[in-house]
Structure 1
């Protein structure tokens, strides 16, 4: 039998442990080592994952240099992603970096360059790239929609009530607020499913802090190179989780919608108003852990790439600048 694929996990909090369960469900893959600055989190994860004490690290770099890994997962607070991912790429270790890739546009551009020059592969943790509804929407875009001209997207969540006081509302760790958290997924599917190039952002935000760094609600108008416009709304102060992506073009449109964290549903809308709801193949869907193991073992193309993530960071950073200055902010990718 071949050796199992050895994964290192940096960040043993809720997201890191959720990802670790995905590796447990993946044949011939194992979380081989864990790194976390918190003794409690690191040891709890080590016990849960049956990792011996000599492979439980307080330092990410030490784990990369010592643990003989095939791949590493970076599931730490957002502002650590750049340096930790860069360290893995410099050691030519395949890396799954949770979203957002970075909270700084220059850092995002640098990681794209580094990843494309490296023999290692960088995958970004935008799991909607593995959801069959969004995949169906992207694959059928040309036939069912044509070139997109108008997009609306919205996500709601009771975010601030549950996250206030955690690292997610500390902008030194999170980079911002709700837009850099769940809102990052929404921006990603707008940009990824349509394939459009953003050129400008106008944004308004409601902030939870005096320094206007932690947004609770955001409303963005994104203009694209082809003249299309997207209206994107993100709320972290609503009682339930709802998400929708509506894309219109000359041939019709599609609606991807859902609630809570369940798989999304899709409808195609014809020019005459008729609707079609395709049957989705849920059985063939992979989780992020399984997709990452395919990247490591088989050299598969990552479902979400650094260039996908670069677009998201560019729009996000432009949105914060626009909200704070009251001006339209241009984007040059």
Structure 2
């Protein structure tokens, strides 16, 4: 593969290897090295990705120092993303970082500002930014065809059963529970699609341990007056997602069961369908988008700033659940526009 992007994988658990396979299969990329503290993970991923043992590392710094890389995939536990991203930026590497970016607002803000003043491409693994159902909803809003007033959204899955016994239920590694995990996709998608800044949130949550939530109900107010009612359940019998954006001009509804297919219906104020989309929600698309962004030098579809907004909203929601009060979302004026 001449001139293929040389990618190092940081974190080779089940999902990390799944994403890495997509780099491995991409004709414009090549997985040349990997790192994980788990011997079993490294050995398994090395076989799947065809990475020889001499290019497998227990520590990420050794891989970054010893290998000739163009970029890294960061798919380590959430709380390690910051250190791994900083190390990659120090080596002037492009970064594909799995969501939820950094589960701490201060570190997320610091890292976002550093990314925006670098020459490297950093993309966050929010695949809804490259799915037509969500893209067309955003375009309907930004074009003025629909002026949002109310968003209702829900995401359900049997998350707590699936992640029991893994690092995802260790808050020192995960940063939180279901809201910081799959729920992050939903929060990010809403903020991005309606193109408004969340300013305040109230929340009710059910916790299985002190810091691991399994269900959450949020009411969010945005800076232009839109209100969102968001429900995330990690203790449900099925996987489902539904988002409806209502306002002047009509309604956009995205829905789907499972993790793949998503359908969009856009209706006018009379209830007549004016547009419909059905497309697979694929993680391959976000890997392709990252590679293309590096090749072209263009801004990737899901940026660190997008992820910063999701982090700010998530952190405020946890505080609101703990205190029982309405909490201001900690987005500062410097967070609302890219650094020059």
Q: TM-score with structure 2 length normalisation?
A: 0.93
Secondary structure at the aligned position of 1:103 is classed as coil
Q: Quote the residue 1:253 is aligned against.
A: 251
Q: Quote the residue 2:141 is aligned against.
A: 141
- Contact in 1 for aligned 2:77/2:174 (Cα 8 Å): yes
- Contact in 2 for aligned 1:22/1:287 (Cα 8 Å): no
Q: Quote the residue 2:28 is aligned against.
A: 28
Alignment CA distance shift 1:130-1:155 (3 Å):
same
C-alpha distance in 1, partners of 2:50/2:279? 34
Q: Quote the residue 2:157 is aligned against.
A: 157
C-alpha distance in 1, partners of 2:165/2:297? 40
1:276-295 mapped onto 2 (5 Å cutoff): 276-279=274-277, 287-295=285-293
- Contact in 2 for aligned 1:22/1:288 (Cα 8 Å): no
- Contact in 2 for aligned 1:220/1:231 (Cα 8 Å): yes
Per-residue CA deviations over 1:42-64 (Å, capped at 9, x if unaligned) read: 11111221112111011111111
CA deviation after TM superposition for structure 1 residue 271, in Å = 0.6
- Contact in 1 for aligned 2:21/2:49 (Cα 8 Å): no
- Contact in 2 for aligned 1:10/1:36 (Cα 8 Å): yes
Alpha-carbon RMSD across the aligned residues, in angstroms, is 1.8
C-alpha distance in 2, partners of 1:84/1:141? 35
Q: TM-score with structure 1 length normalisation?
A: 0.95
C-alpha distance in 2, partners of 1:17/1:83? 20
C-alpha distance in 2, partners of 1:268/1:84? 41
Alignment CA distance shift 1:226-1:214 (3 Å):
same
Alignment CA distance shift 1:234-1:280 (3 Å):
closer
Structure 1 spans left out of the alignment, 5+ residues: none
Q: Quote the residue 1:235 is aligned against.
A: 233
Query: Aligned residues, how many?
Result: 331
- Contact in 1 for aligned 2:263/2:279 (Cα 8 Å): no
- Contact in 2 for aligned 1:144/1:268 (Cα 8 Å): no
- Contact in 2 for aligned 1:70/1:296 (Cα 8 Å): no
Is 2:300 the counterpart of 1:302? yes
CA deviation after TM superposition for structure 1 residue 132, in Å = 1.3
- Contact in 1 for aligned 2:242/2:254 (Cα 8 Å): yes
- Contact in 2 for aligned 1:148/1:194 (Cα 8 Å): yes
Per-residue CA deviations over 1:273-320 (Å, capped at 9, x if unaligned) read: 222342457799962221221122221321100110000000000000
1:79-98 mapped onto 2 (5 Å cutoff): 79-98=79-98
Q: Runs (4+) of structure 1 moved beyond 6 Å?
A: 281-285
1:36-55 mapped onto 2 (5 Å cutoff): 36-55=36-55
Alignment CA distance shift 1:300-1:142 (3 Å):
closer
Secondary structure at the aligned position of 2:179 is classed as helix
